[in-house]
Amino acid sequence: MELNEFQTRKQKIDIMLKEQGWVVGDRTKVIVEVDTKQSDFRAQNYKTVSETLKNDMESKYVDYLKLDRFGAPIAIIEAKRTSRDPILTAQKQAEEYANDIKAQTGKTRVAMAIIDVLLKAGWAEKILFLTDRRALRKQAYDDGFKRFFPEEAKSMIHSGVFNRNSRLYVFTYLDGIQIGLTATPADFIERDTFRFFGCENKVATALYDYEEAVRDGVLCDFRKNISGARTHF
């Protein structure tokens, strides 16, 4: 029997959550239909569909938001009708929800605190804050440097043009040569050295392997220099 999304929630997800101690309706643990766009996750002010549906602001709702004992979000659950593949239909949606949450977790504030420590301790003379998007560059400059360092000279770098007398800089990306040196290249899905540095067919640009280093006398062949010893306790 095919279940729509509402039936899936009531007949399956709600029951499974309750079996694991997550009672739907207990807002200290689980909140349903949370607006990820209008909620303030940093302040733990979670707004639901009943609060935001009729206003003109942008909304995006997640079916379930699970909270830890401090009230911070730890997981989102998205219900789908049973006839649809949940992996294909919900993965992109869940990623969008997660991005909405991550965007409000205070990373810029933490970065500013670290910069403050570095400057006051004299460990850094100038700071370059790199971002991968223009929106983040503006956020770092307006919500970060201008807010927490109002007296410091600061610049936003555009096309290589900047004020050399500034102490704080924000740049969207660094146009430079990327060089990677590693003794342990990996080709795992989540950590692929070759893909990261654009090596075609998983072949390194230059390779100096262990056998060659042994022949050159740079390294010792550990296989020929093994000693055994017996200990008594």
Domain ranges of the chain: 5-102, 107-171, 177-224
Q: How far apart are CA 114 and CA 154, in angstroms?
A: 17
pLDDT greater than 80 at residue 26: yes
- The beta-strand segments (E) located in 22-165 are 30-35, 61-67, 73-77, 127-130, 154-156
Between 42 and 159, the more confident residue is: 42
CA nearest neighbour of 112 among 74, 144, 137: 144
pLDDT band at 227, cuts 50/70/90? Answer: low
pLDDT greater than 70 at residue 92: no
Average pLDDT of the segment spanning 33-57:
86
CB of 108 within 8 A of CB of 42?
A: no
CA distances from 42 to 45, 104, 140, 164 (A): 8, 6, 17, 35
pLDDT band at 104, cuts 50/70/90? Answer: low
pLDDT greater than 60 at residue 183: yes
pLDDT band at 176, cuts 50/70/90? Answer: low
Average pLDDT of the segment spanning 37-65:
85
